[in-house]
Amino acid sequence: MEGPFYLASLTLLLMLVAIYWHRAHRFHIPVMFAVILFDISMPIYLVMTRDWSKRLLTDGDILSFGVWMHFGLIISLFVLYAIQVSAGLKLLKSTPDTITTDTDDSRREHRMLAKGILLSRALVIATGAMLSEPVAST
């Protein structure tokens, strides 16, 4: 549990720094893109390195509320990412000459989605930590 949890927590902190420096596009956009790629690759890594069939099917965890809540949060996070990327692309296409109320609406949408992503991502990390198997001490 320790490795993926700490790494996901560090990327959450990195995401907070990138949100704080949102006007530095050369920093903000690559960091956010890297965090999205990290979040997409984390389930792939966990499926490849864990024995999910034993845990979910043999132990019966597939019927637990926590597993389904975690899965739902992951799906909602990926949907929020898709909408966020769309809003960000709208902002990148706008130029200083073409700033209108649509641009202001896009900024507001992008900001509100960022808050939702932060909350959803923090909940995904927390539920993942609760669902992780404890490490046996030797």
Of 135 and 15, more confident:
15
* Section 110-135 average pLDDT: 90
CB atoms within 10 A of CB 136: 5
Say whether pLDDT at 2 is over 70: yes
* Section 98-121 average pLDDT: 86
Of 47 and 103, more confident:
47
The residues spanned by each domain of the chain are 2-131
Say whether pLDDT at 30 is over 70: yes
Over residues 50-105, the pLDDT tens digits come to 877 777 777 778 788 888 999 999 999 999 999 999 999 988 887 666 666 777 78
Between CA 72 and CA 68 the distance in angstroms is 6
pTM value?
A: 0.85
